[in-house]
Structure 1
Amino acid sequence: MPDRIRLLVRRLGAMMIHQPQRFSDAQFAPVLSRFVQQSPLVHCMTNDVVQNFTANVLLALHASPAMVIDPDEARQFAAAADALLINVGTLTRERRDAMLAAVQAANHAQTPWVLDPVAVGALTLRTDFCQQLLALQPAAVRGNASEILALAQQSRGGRGVDTQHQAEAALEAACELAKTHHTLVAISGEVDYVTDGSQTLTISGGNPLMTRVVGTGCALSAVVAAFCSLPGERLNNVASACRVMALAGERAAAQADAPGHFAMHFIDALWRQAQEARV
């Protein structure tokens, strides 16, 4: 069988196996309730641009954020936290070493950690580092379609944090990454996808204004990390992280038609979801 035909057969088979299933609010509600009860402590090694927004997102959901970046402290804190986020948005060589130390400590303590491969692809330092981190088996990877394609070495990436691809275009790459590295992959877009390589969930919601506020994607990765700390089915937990943010986007857009007010209403919408989940 020619290689081209063999590849086509493999892709058609993968499409049949990985037919996405819609993630329902009936599945989401009990996960959010468990999250609010647990109130996880999240170690966020994230980029300088989004630290404040990320902290406010986690606080609104009743989680506890911490930004510890010194290599020695990061190693200690990663082992004590409930979850760790590695976001390479403003990566430096010193920060790379601190992140690697934190990941190694998290793995030793069996603390789940999440990789956000911001702008991976065209830039050598972050691309090489993200490939190194993949070998250390993150609990989940969260990125836009261009970042996931670049991480899978099928593209050079998008324009910085902006994607040049629709989420579904990266679904096959996400499934391959999930299988190869025994992780979950979440692709953000107009529709979000979460896959473990065998099962794929779709998460609806959100609003285009989310792309006009700095930090919504990076904050989502922190929320994904927080939800990875929960007991139960991790695929549903990560899908719930995507849904809580998408729902907040819908609710915020119903009250605001411009980015400044949207950001304020977005945080409020997360807070109200957490309050509703406590009832």
Structure 2
Amino acid sequence: MSIRTPQQSAHPSTDDSSVGEFASASGDLLDRLRERTPLVQSITNAVVTNFTANVLLAVGAAPAMTDIPTEAGPFARIASGVLLNLGTPQAEQRAAMVEAATAANDAGTPWVLDPVAVGFLPVRTALAAELLALRPTIVRGNASEIIALAGLGAGGRGVDSTDSVDSAIEAATAIARTSGAVVAISGPTDVITDGERIVRCSNGHACLTRVTGGGCALGAVLAAFASLDDDRLLTTVAATTAYTVAAQLAAAESRGPGSFAPAFLDHLHLLDADTVRSLAVIV
């Protein structure tokens, strides 16, 4: 399958033709994911393990929660993608994350860093800095987390951002340029940058913030899509678009967070490329 990739521009945003190509490629990559069923190793927090695994299954990937030392590294070598989420970083899991990141880099496995609640909490903040130095493929977080990771702020209110997405663009660009990672800032409109190009994805719904794991599971989906193409800005936009389109569809038929979560899994499972292309809001 061929995927049309938007061309990089000296201008730090997308033009009209690139926007259309991002939407088209997002649908193509969803089809490719279903063909390949990428194996995603998720070293993630205890609160969201089950939801993350179910999201990966629903979208068409295969989850593996291999998160202990001596196993995490070897598994990262055979996985299609790896998620490292700092939500509940117990000592053994911290060691497994460093082991997995090192092995993933050695094997060429794309990996995602989700620096949950970094800033004023010392253990996870130090770990995030250590992992960032290992050069993740993608960094995903809310605005306050991205600002704190760049060393430009103290973090948000726990896992909640106290900064706007636009206020984090400078920090995201700096992280991308120094680490080589694509950086995705989650918010009402998600902003994604590789340090040069900036893409805004405006699908989704507030219900994603009202179920445990709505943001964390996206990190695993980013890892799955990252295994499909070398243009990781493209794969990050595609993963974000597919994920948030499914959320938008689920919210339209839900009464609240209790009915949203199963509807979201159903819509991820039923999502097709044409729906992604037709509903994508990318600027």
Give, in whole Å, the separation in 1 of the partners of 2:196 and 2:101: 26
Shift of 1:66: 0.4
RMSD value over aligned CA atoms?
1.6
SS in 1 for 2:144: helix
Q: Which amino acid aligns with 1:19?
A: S
Structure with greater helix percent: 1
Determine the structure 2 residue equivalent to 1:60: 58
Question: TM-score, with normalisation over the residues of structure 1?
Answer: 0.90
Determine the structure 2 residue equivalent to 1:231: 229
Shift of 1:20: 5.2
1:262 aligns with 2:260: yes
Distance 1:262 1:88, change over 3 A: same
Aligned ranges 1:171-182 → 2 under 5 Å: 171-182=169-180
Shift of 1:37: 1.2
Determine the structure 2 residue equivalent to 1:7: none
Listed one character per residue, the Cα deviations across residues 39-77 of structure 1 (whole Å, up to 9, x for unaligned) are 100000000000000000000011000001120111111
Contact 2:82 2:109 survives alignment (8 Å):
yes
Give, in whole Å, the separation in 2 of the partners of 1:152 and 1:17: 23
- Sequence identity, in percent? 47
Determine the structure 2 residue equivalent to 1:18: 12
Shift of 1:169: 1.2
Aligned ranges 1:1-279 → 2 under 5 Å: 17-19=11-13, 23-24=19-20, 25-274=23-272
Question: TM-score, with normalisation over the residues of structure 2?
Answer: 0.89
Contact 2:189 2:201 survives alignment (8 Å):
yes
Distance 1:148 1:21, change over 3 A: farther
Q: Which amino acid aligns with 1:54?
A: T
Shift of 1:174: 0.3
Give, in whole Å, the separation in 1 of the partners of 2:249 and 2:173: 31
Listed one character per residue, the Cα deviations across residues 149-191 of structure 1 (whole Å, up to 9, x for unaligned) are 0001111111111111121110111011100111100011000
Give, in whole Å, the separation in 1 of the partners of 2:154 and 2:230: 36
Give, in whole Å, the separation in 2 of the partners of 1:19 and 1:68: 38
Give, in whole Å, the separation in 1 of the partners of 2:91 and 2:60: 33
Shift of 1:99: 0.9
Give, in whole Å, the separation in 1 of the partners of 2:199 and 2:154: 26
SS in 2 for 1:142: strand
| Runs (5+) with no aligned partner, structure 2 | 1-9, 276-283
Shift of 1:19: 3.3
Q: Which amino acid aligns with 2:99?
A: A
Listed one character per residue, the Cα deviations across residues 173-223 of structure 1 (whole Å, up to 9, x for unaligned) are 101110011110001100011100000111111111111011010000010
Give, in whole Å, the separation in 2 of the partners of 1:236 and 1:168: 20
Determine the structure 1 residue equivalent to 2:280: none
Shift of 1:27: 3.0
Give, in whole Å, the separation in 2 of the partners of 1:262 and 1:105: 37
- Greater radius of gyration (CA): 1
Contact 1:62 1:274 survives alignment (8 Å):
no
SS in 2 for 1:216: coil
| Runs (5+) with no aligned partner, structure 1 | 1-15
